[in-house]
Structure 1
């Protein structure tokens, strides 16, 4: 016996509030069958697929929602179709670059041209929270590769980025990992005098496999570390000053980093996080210390 959409919607709301992800998924599917021409039904079903990282289903549902986007919804969302944005994310997760390019254009991003190849444009440096400690979506399957950490990344499209800093091993991420990220700001970080939005990781798309090392340096100033980074960059190596990492409370991490005092403890030695092959890193460090003879570098230690 066919049920009334209102009855199903009420059951969906009860299940949603109760956190019953499986039941929400079942009822969302039922609503799309009862209301096949409803943007709202398909969009909510697609949001559930996105939260559960069911990317093929999310892509299909968002494509259907896009086709049902009416003038009323366009006014509600101020002209931008949110299903197009979520289709771009799902297509990126699936490496369906032709669909991703089309979705971003439909959303209104005019700098991405049609084509079938991977999107690899310079969208600037951005901070991304890997292994988010708070779900950003209802019923979300949150990445759990390790500890939460905000890392700096080269953003290559509206939904994916390459890690440019050297994450701590506890994060389960490496230099040059490729991560899928959401588009809703979750806090901010300062860079170059500007406040940049933090985005949450949705999934890791590629593990770089690049080894992570550490070395302790006595006598290094900020300028010295910048020189090492300049030497390492062209060689494809990673350098990060782990001594400057601020361990923040969750509220500061998701809001303003300066709400509380989370300054790192002062130290005479800098702990550097490094990424790359041992031979290349040793060559880089030797060149660095030859130009900075006042530095004392401890043994290079492999972490993972």
Structure 2
């Protein structure tokens, strides 16, 4: 290839990176590759766009090309592993994680391990709700909180998340990186129920949550435990001043998110706590379990 062609490919690549429209950028990247098909950075950028579009086969193909041209590029390897995971190509995913130095054996079985807890951002482009989850591989995590109903996610859902941290959360004095969710990988078995109750204070609500937990129904006080953060705080490390200012004070009515393994057992725990005083104001399913609760594709 002569210098003039290389300059043309460089110019197309740089102009594509300045575009906000993905379709136009992809078209320009393709022009660059027609001139110089061995541009690892162009393949990487195309794979990145396809990743955020959820077009996993295209992302896989371009990241695989990028890795073939530049085997030591960490970002291309990570995105190849993410795309392979989305496609359930466990052999490739395991090979890439192994190449990146992670203690994952090669093979063809799905990865199901314990990589510790992590906060994940459910909808990075909208509400940006962050919940806690347990990582079962480097880019998949099972949600342990009860997400708000508007998120559409449920406790027990397995999500595919990005590899780059965007912000941090602190728990038990330890800082944890926040990862943006890319897709629902597998739907969990729990519906989300909303209980509205009248309580005598946070301690009273905690007693109810403890009773529900004992009945196998994970419960969370959405009234006092949900924190609303500005975008800057959400994508960084939250500071106490914003937390105190943005958390609403309860007025005696509380909203509890509940993910019951047994709805009847959850109702029994609610009635036992209420003890006939009429303090349970409502108990309704707000996010049902999908008909295809297991094996849902990303």
TM-score > 0.5 by shorter chain: yes
Q: 1:261 aligns with which of 242, 245, 252?
A: 242
Q: Given the alignment of the two structures, is residue 120 of structure 1 paired with residue 141 of structure 2, yes or no? A: no
Provide, for residues 112-145 of structure 1, a one-character-per-residue CA deviation record: whole Å limited to 9, x for no partner. 1122221111111111111113xxxxxxxxxx7x
Alignment-derived partner of residue 273 in structure 1? 257
Q: 2:171 aligns with which of 172, 177, 191?
A: 191
What is the TM-score with the length of structure 2 in the denominator? Answer: 0.81
Alignment-derived partner of residue 36 in structure 2? 35
Equivalents in 2 of 1:170, 1:151: separation in Å?
13
Instruction: Tell me the SS of whatever aligns to 2:243.
Output: coil
1:157 CA displacement: 1.0
What is the TM-score with the length of structure 1 in the denominator? Answer: 0.79
Q: Given the alignment of the two structures, is residue 169 of structure 1 paired with residue 149 of structure 2, yes or no? A: yes
Equivalents in 2 of 1:299, 1:86: separation in Å?
45
Say whether the 8 Å CA contact 1:159–1:181 is kept in structure 2.
Answer: yes
Matches within 5 A, 1:1-304: 4-69=5-70, 74=72, 81-110=74-103, 112-133=104-125, 147-208=127-188, 210-215=190-195, 216=197, 218-219=199-200, 220-221=202-203, 224=207, 227-228=210-211, 230-232=213-215, 235=216, 237-243=217-223, 244-258=225-239, 260-263=241-244, 264-267=247-250, 268=252, 270-276=254-260, 277-285=262-270, 289=273, 297-304=280-287
Equivalents in 2 of 1:13, 1:149: separation in Å?
34
Alignment-derived partner of residue 292 in structure 2? none
Equivalents in 1 of 2:42, 2:248: separation in Å?
51
Give the count of matched residue pairs.
Answer: 277
Provide, for residues 46-92 of structure 1, a one-character-per-residue CA deviation record: whole Å limited to 9, x for no partner. 2222232221111122222222226xxx4xx6xxx222111111011
Equivalents in 1 of 2:149, 2:106: separation in Å?
38
Say whether the 8 Å CA contact 1:241–1:270 is kept in structure 2.
Answer: yes
Equivalents in 2 of 1:150, 1:293: separation in Å?
36
Equivalents in 2 of 1:97, 1:296: separation in Å?
50
1:294 CA displacement: 11
Say whether the 8 Å CA contact 1:242–1:270 is kept in structure 2.
Answer: yes
Equivalents in 2 of 1:226, 1:194: separation in Å?
25
Distance verdict in 2 for CA 1:229–1:122, change over 3 Å: farther
Distance verdict in 2 for CA 1:299–1:168, change over 3 Å: same
Equivalents in 1 of 2:11, 2:161: separation in Å?
31
Equivalents in 2 of 1:108, 1:85: separation in Å?
12
